Amino acid sequence: MRSLQVSWRGALADVAAVACLAAATATVAGPAVASTGHRDRRTDRGAAAAGAQAAAAPTRPADAAQTAEVATLNASFTPDRLGASTTIGFGFSVHTTTGLAPPPLSSLDLRMPAGMDYVSTTLGLAICHPRAIIAHGGKGCPVNSRLGYGSAYVEVPFGSGAGHELPRIEAFMGPPVKEDMVVLFYVNGQIPVFAQLVFSGTVLPDSGPFGTQLEAKVPLVESVPEGPDVSIVRAQSTIGPRHVLYRRISKGRVHYFHPQGIAVPEHCPAGGFPFSASFTFQDGSHAEASTTVPCPKPRHGNARRHRAHGAQSSTRLRRARRA
């Protein structure tokens, strides 16, 4: 349990979770292949391959230099109660001022609010190794290493309306790097985009209004063999016990349970709980986005119950005095 608390000390992010993609090769209606470092391999292609790529890739408009990337971020707590175990939801979308798909995403830095309680969580009771995901997909990971779920939507850069959904993202606890937590994301794409994508993000301490940050490098993913790399235009993920079941064996019997999630801070800062994200794209451009989770509303139901309980106690006390 001590090692679990150490791995969560650097905290979490989700994202998501998040929500970035890729450490593998994507093909259209082709075999799913997981790999890493394929960008270096592509830089050594011959003239014939370069010609094929030029024929397949759309041409970026002449005014591309005037195109700017715009990002939005959303986040949620379920349930949204101070001090309660929760499931963190997070997601982002990216578009350009010209309406075309943005350049491929190369890195993501997601920052989460300070005060989240990672000590009491039981998420990530087991570790999943990247080689297990590559060999067997999400089924190759221990049940008790699962952290959450999500989905994503991708498009070919500089094209419009040719997007495809990658309907399932799975998040797992990966092997820690020193004392920092690592989240592994597995994306199992379906036809027409058939791909097996594996990538990771490292969770690090942050400062100020943010307690932790998830830093992830996003490898490039081909849309078709020798073709342009895809752009992530939307992604969302969850980190927490919602829809997650763990398993334990006691006295020879299997028991299933929901793990304890990360706890919402006991106090809400003015303006709500802040989230922020920085995006860097293949062409060197950048985008920023931020959002807040509103402070929970007072639990009037509990207040009424407390008042009713107090009234009943006062009535019993008056009766006792009369007796």
What's the burial of 136, exposed, middle or buried (CB within 10 Å: 0-12/13-18/19+)? exposed
What's the burial of 298, exposed, middle or buried (CB within 10 Å: 0-12/13-18/19+)? exposed
Residues contacting 306, CB < 8 A, separation 6+? none
pLDDT for the residue 67: 80
Mean pLDDT of residues grouped by 10 in the chain (323 residues)? 36 36 35 38 39 41 69 96 95 91 91 92 95 92 96 71 72 92 83 68 92 88 76 91 95 95 94 97 95 86 46 47 48
Query: CA–CA distance from 147 to each of 46, 141, 186, 188 (Å)?
Result: 42, 11, 11, 16
Alpha-carbon span 300 to 307, nearest angstrom: 10
Report whether 130 contacts 304 (CB < 8 A). no
Neighbours of 40 (CB within 10 A): 7
Neighbours of 6 (CB within 10 A): 14
Report whether 95 contacts 155 (CB < 8 A). no
Report whether 102 contacts 95 (CB < 8 A). yes
Return the CA Rg of the chain. Answer: 23
Report whether 103 contacts 283 (CB < 8 A). yes
Cα–chain-centroid distance for residue 246?
A: 20
pLDDT for the residue 26: 38
pLDDT for the residue 304: 47
pTM for the full predicted model? 0.71
Report whether 244 contacts 147 (CB < 8 A). yes
Name the residue with tokens 């706890």. 263
- Which residues are bridge partners to 105 per DSSP? 281
Query: CA–CA distance from 230 to each of 142, 163, 226 (Å)?
Result: 30, 9, 12
pLDDT for the residue 100: 83
Question: What does the buried/exposed string (b/e) look like for 259-295 if buried means 16 or more CB atoms within 10 Å of the residue's CB?
Answer: bebbbbbeebeeeebbbbbbbbbbeeeebebebbbee
Report whether 260 contacts 123 (CB < 8 A). yes
